[in-house]
A = this chain, B = another copy of it.
Amino acid sequence: EIVAAVQSALADGPLKGRRILVTSGPTHEPIDPVRYIANRSSGAQGTAIARALAAFGAEVVFVTGPADMPAPGGVEVQRVETAQQMLAACETALPVDAAVCAAAVADWRVASASPSKMKKTAGGLPQLEFAENPDILAALSQRAENRPGLVIGFAAETDDLEANAAAKLKRKGCDWIVANDVSEAMGIMGGTENAVTLITQSGTERWPRMSKYRVAARLAGKIADVLTGSD
């Protein structure tokens, strides 16, 4: 009841009337009908962000790869498998006021995925040729038409977190990067907490380690500030 009361109080929230795209989960890139390449992503952070934005009153389009967890309620869900499908679903969702690209999109796909199952016996080890996948964050950030007012990317890094994330911000042309350290010692992958650094064109904020729900709520609050001009 408390949750329902809060949600109904927020339905008229600061993001009422704003349309926001959130990508979430991994992509799966087929090798053949039974094998694929994937990124580790439970979809937990993207799902929490979509839920927080919806609770703030936004109309959320949630484009998700095959994630471990159910999509949040109260949002428009578009399910995809590959990076190419995810880009198409994002472009279909435009125009939006903001885009939060939390999906762990595979950088590469297998150039010539086999329509039949590759046989183990047919000539030893496989030779896979790769092709570069579309870069969804860069594509949304660099659009001439219908560029979202605010584009937020994520960077999962194991080394040189801030330098790599700042370089990514510049290279992609997005507005903010939410960077996190996924080295094994942090124990974040697949867990319930996250320790992120928010990088914007004006500086860097190191947020303390907190639950993925609190990261989502804080990020949604900052998005609301920017979109409503209170920042």
The verdict on A230 contacting chain B, using a C-beta distance below 8 Å, is no
Q: Which residues of B contact A120 (CB under 8 A)?
A: 107
Would you give the 0/1 interface string for A86-120, flagging 1 where the beta carbon is closer than 8 Å to chain B?
Answer: 00000000000000000010111000000011011
Interface pair B157/A117, CB less than 8 Å apart = yes
Number of identical monomers bound together in the oligomeric complex: 2
Q: How far does the alpha carbon of A121 sit from the alpha carbon of B174 in the complex, in Å?
A: 17
Interface pair A184/B131, CB less than 8 Å apart = no
The verdict on A204 contacting chain B, using a C-beta distance below 8 Å, is no
Q: Chain A: how many interface residues by the 8 Å CB criterion?
A: 37
Contact of A36 among B37, B126, B132, B157 (CB under 8 A): B37
Q: Is the interface of A mostly helix, strand, loop or mixed?
A: loop
Q: How far is the CB of A164 from chain B (nearest CB, A)?
A: 8
Q: Can you list 5 A-B contacts with CB-CB less than 8 angstroms, sorted by A residue number?
A: A33-B40, A36-B38, A68-B68, A116-B158, A121-B171
The verdict on A139 contacting chain B, using a C-beta distance below 8 Å, is no
Residues in A158-211 with C-beta less than 8 Å from chain B: 158-159, 164, 171, 182-184, 189
